[in-house]
Amino acid sequence: MIEVPEAFARGTVAREGASGAAWIAELPHIVDELLERWHCVPDGRVLHGGVGVIVPVRRRDGTPAALKVSFPHPGNVHEPDALELWDGRGAVRLRERADDRFAMLLERVAGTTLAECGDPDTMMTVAGRLSRRLAVPAPPGLPRLRERADEWDDQLHADATEFVHPLPSRVMAVAADSVRDLGRHQPDLLVHGDLHARNILRAAREPWLVVDPKGCAGDPAYDAGTVIKAHLLFLLAEDDLGRAVRRSLDVFTDAAGLDRDRVRRWCQLRAVQTVFWALRHGPGRERAGLDRDGVVALAGSLAELLTEEI
């Protein structure tokens, strides 16, 4: 039976409470059942992200694969749909799915992530090219990002009144405009939904492949918000944050083939939302050691920088 990584168990229980603890207790049995169902044997150390465990396995014919089991949360329902649609183009291949268990058998690639590459321009180029490649027409049945615009609007208003925050009113007004202009009118393209460097893995079939999509439909420039926000943590040491952000936008939008101003506005909105998310929930995972105030200050600086054309 697999041993559930301690940090993963702790994180799940902290976030999900009693239902998280019950699922963690059941997880080794779920993995055993799936190994049997798909005729696989474990083949390496169990990995994890924030919501799922990844068990390296070998299939009956000896092919390496990766078994992923996610916490049963509505946000994790459409991951196999997105991977199925990409069918290996820019993303790992889906070999099998067990929706009853929030589980998938995936093509296994090297464990190295784009986060380890270290060069900001390469990171932005790779993420941009992938964003372009992944933007295929989205079929009905996937959640539409535009349907979240009302919720974003309400949340912005509620946040602005509930929290003492560092954002000038101009920054808040521009974010509200973006919800109206960009949020409500979005194309029906497949959007990864969580495109950051730890979800981009080194591969052989293509140089880099994505994992861990949310699988929603909307504007590919939405993903730029995740890319740039996460990338900011790699730019902390830069003397001139403004210049580094400008450069990231340039390189990303060029590689992605997206309109630069549209990307800037999505990034501004996502940065404002991050400020309030951190005020409400704390710093979140993997924030390069930043505490809540550190995340608020950094995301706030990004939001301000992006409020005007840069």
Give the residue numbers annotated as catalytic, written as ranges: 194
Q: Supply the minimum distance, in Å, between the C-beta of residue 52 and ligand ADP.
A: 4
Q: Which does 51 bind (CB under 5 to 8 A by kind): ligand ADP, Mg ion, none?
A: ligand ADP
CA distance readout (Å), 154 to 20, 157, 180, 195, 210: 29, 5, 12, 25, 32
Q: Supply the minimum distance, in Å, between the C-beta of residue 173 and ligand ADP.
A: 34
Residue sitting closest to Mg ion (CB): 49
Among residues 66 and 267, whose Cβ is nearest to ligand ADP? Answer: 66
Q: Which is it for the CA torsion 59, 65, 70, 74, positive or negative?
A: negative
Among residues 195 and 306, whose Cβ is nearest to Mg ion? Answer: 195
Q: Which does 245 bind (CB under 5 to 8 A by kind): Mg ion, ligand ADP, none?
A: none
Q: Supply the minimum distance, in Å, between the C-beta of residue 95 and ligand ADP.
A: 10
**Per-residue b or e along 171-187, where b marks 16 or more CB atoms closer than 10 Å to that residue's CB:** bbebbbebbeebbeebe
Among residues 159 and 194, whose Cβ is nearest to Mg ion? Answer: 194
Question: How far is it, in rounded angstroms, from Cα 124 to Cα 225?
Answer: 12
Question: How far is it, in rounded angstroms, from Cα 272 to Cα 233?
Answer: 16
Q: Supply the minimum distance, in Å, between the C-beta of residue 288 and Mg ion.
A: 16
Q: 252 with 144: CB under 8 angstroms?
A: no
Q: Which does 92 bind (CB under 5 to 8 A by kind): Mg ion, ligand ADP, none?
A: ligand ADP
Binding mask 209-248 for Mg ion (x = CB under 5 A): ---x------------------------------------
DSSP H/E element including 66? strand 64-70
Q: Which is it for the CA torsion 87, 139, 256, 247, positive or negative?
A: negative
Q: Which is it for the CA torsion 200, 202, 206, 208, positive or negative?
A: positive
Q: Supply the minimum distance, in Å, between the C-beta of residue 213 and Mg ion.
A: 10
Question: How far is it, in rounded angstroms, from Cα 195 to Cα 215?
Answer: 11
Q: Which does 175 bind (CB under 5 to 8 A by kind): ligand ADP, Mg ion, none?
A: none
Q: 130 with 208: CB under 8 angstroms?
A: yes
Query: Exactly one of 11, 20, 49, 90 binds Mg ion (CB under 5 A); which one?
Result: 49
Among residues 66 and 271, whose Cβ is nearest to ligand ADP? Answer: 66
Query: Which segment (60-68, 88-96, 206-214, 258-266) binds Mg ion by CB under 5 A?
Result: 206-214
Give the interface with ligand ADP as residue ranges (CB under 6 A). 47-52, 54, 66, 68, 92, 106-109, 111, 113, 198-199, 201, 211-212
Q: Which does 307 bind (CB under 5 to 8 A by kind): ligand ADP, Mg ion, none?
A: none
According to DSSP, the residues that pair with 106 across neighbouring strands are 66, 94
Q: 104 with 54: CB under 8 angstroms?
A: no
Residue that is written with structure tokens 């052989």 in the block = 204
Name the site residues for Mg ion (rule: CB under 5 A): 49, 199, 212
